[in-house]
Chains A and B, each alone.
Chain A
Amino acid sequence: MEISIFNYDFLIRSILAALFGSITAGIAGTYIVSRRLVFLSGGVTHASFGGIGMGYFLGVNPIVGAALFGMVSAMGIEYLSHKQNVKEDSAIGFLWAFGMAVGVIFIYITPGYTPNLMSYLFGSLLTIGGGDLAALMVLSLVMILFFALFYRTILYISYDEAYARTFSRHVTLFKYLLIVLVSLVIVLNIRIAGVVLVLSMLTIPPNFVMLFTKNFKKVMIWSVVAGFVGMTGGIAASWYLDIPTGATIIFVMVAGWVMARIIKGKTGSSRSRRDIKNKLYRKEVIYKDVK
């Protein structure tokens, strides 16, 4: 393949998108998978499509509209979940469809052509600009800092919120901050994988890593690594095969997860292997004692 200035520029942009995409999605993904907030995140993703439509209609950057819709709906769901008489999953399902409906209506009534609409639905690296990358970079730094500084608090709130309330008065504040960060991660990664596919960018890496480790911090770190490998692999494959990038990334990730599952299935779980090791160790000790 000929290396032109266009190719070189595209290559740099792709690698940066993969880097920041995997950092943000890996950290946020570990949080939503561990806390079982995947359905909620799906609701936020699709609600944000309403903002994309509104962006088109008002002539502002659709991602700004999406961020607005995403954050408001995330906080709305979090708020409703405190009320005991609201069924959270119904509220999420409601927002999910409502956001899509609003988006479709806005796009329909927007006069003339709506450029790049497909790229918001299915993602496209070609349309990612310097501004998108800068936003993703800032969000990556915020995510790393926030999770590094407040690691223990986030871990314990995620594990058992009621118990966390016995030692911290900031549990509600943290829950809102976290869900807002998650919705920003989703919205900014829509540029890469699109509304339809972005959630898998968050959920597949942690599920892959959790086949090998059950430590929150390690799951987070290795999800970033696995996400980066999956994304660069997907970008490269989509480039050579000339197929859509977002879909290829997800395809590569799912393929990787399936392969890991099969390999894992053959060697047995880490638990049973450790049990065998423990037993061997115990035998050794008993043997020494008798001597």
Chain B
Amino acid sequence: MQEHNWLLRLENISAGYNGDTVLSDVSLQISDNDFMGVIGPNGGGKTTLLKVMLGLLTPFYGEVIFNRELLTPYNIGYLPQMSEGDISFPVSVRDIVMSGLMQSRGAMARMKRADRERSATVMKDLGIWHLRNRCLSELSGGELQRVYLGRALIGSPRLLLLDEPGNFVDSSFEQGFYDMLKELNKKMAVVMVSHDVGTISAYVKSFACVNGKLHYHDSGRITNDQLKDYGCPIQLIAHGDIPHTVLQKHIDGDINI
């Protein structure tokens, strides 16, 4: 079996807000080919876990260790659960997508022709090319989420953190979205927070259950009993083995209107 390099390691992390502990004694390692589903009840600390990885929240205790040859805290792709951005801000969709390129640049970064071309590719892939000159207040929730997804992907990060991407993804985009993540996973590690254990278990390679503590589950299949053992009381919507291709629509034939 091929050896895989580790990217990021959390060691005995305790973290929270205003002195209240949300995560206690969490340890986790992420390797460069991981596709990890993060599950757990609301308020269990999933978003907090991602913030600790990103350095947005300094833990009370414990260490976040980066394998600096492969990853730094400043080149992680991140899709927040709720963006703090002000959608009435005078900025275009294209500029927001291109902000994902800042990770590899200094404070004096300029956007060049190649950057604009790269942003065009990403926007076309995500089906938001026609929105490129709009400002954010002119978008629907789902469109906005794709813009933020573009921002997370454009820099081709080694590690991609997605916080509940399914929330705004409509069913017509869902299948393509998960397939895209599978493809991206060949080049980057993916950590995805989701409530939809059933759907994602067809894609993820491992699970982390976060409910104050973290339980790591080394496979993409997880049962209700295991969830109960981990102290992760969430409902399984479907079992991971069910192939979801049944629902895939075929629209590649000739259409004559």
Contact = CB atoms under 8 A, between A and B. Distances in A.
Interface string A154-166: 0110111111111
15 contacts: A34-B90, A35-B86, A152-B110, A156-B99, A159-B89, A160-B84, A162-B56, A163-B80, A163-B151, A167-B102, A167-B103, A168-B74, A214-B135, A215-B95, A216-B89
Contacts of A36: 86
B18 interface: yes
A213 interface: yes
Nearest to A218: B90
B67 interface: no
B241 interface: no
B111 A152 contact: yes
A159 B74 contact: no
B74 A160 contact: no
B90 A214 contact: yes
B161 to A, nearest CB: 9
Given A152-B111, A153-B107, A168-B74, A214 B91 contact: yes
B127 interface: no
B83 interface: yes
A167 B74 contact: yes
A166 B103 contact: yes
Contacts of B109: 152-153
B142 interface: no
A169 B74 contact: yes
A210 interface: yes
Interface in A208-259: 210, 213-216, 219
A85 B18 CA distance: 9
Interface string A36-69: 1000000000000000000000000000000000
Nearest to A150: B107
B78 interface: yes
Contacts of A155: 91, 95, 99
A261 interface: no
Contacts, number: 88
B119 to A, nearest CB: 13
B103 A150 contact: no
A90 interface: no
Contacts of A164: 102
Interface string B11-26: 0000001100000000
Interface in B57-108: 73-76, 78, 80, 83-86, 89-92, 95-96, 99, 102-103, 105, 107-108
Contacts of A210: 90
Interface residues of B, number: 33
A166 B54 contact: yes
B43 interface: no
Interface centre among B78, B85, B151 (most CB of A within 10 A): B85
Interface of A: 34-36, 84-85, 149-150, 152-153, 155-156, 158-170, 174, 210, 213-216, 219, 271
Contacts of B107: 150, 153, 168, 170, 174
A152 B103 CA distance: 12
Given A152-B102, A152-B110, A163-B84, A213 B56 contact: no
Contact of A149 (B17, B56, B108, B151): B108
A24 to B, nearest CB: 19
A174 B169 CA distance: 35
B55 interface: yes
A159 B109 CA distance: 16
Given A166-B54, A215-B91, A271-B138, 16 more contacts: A34-B90, A152-B102, A152-B109, A153-B109, A159-B96, A160-B83, A161-B84, A163-B84, A163-B85, A163-B99, A163-B151, A166-B55, A166-B78, A174-B107, A214-B91, A216-B89
A66 B91 CA distance: 33
A271 B55 CA distance: 39
B89 A166 contact: no
A216 B102 contact: no
A214 B96 CA distance: 13
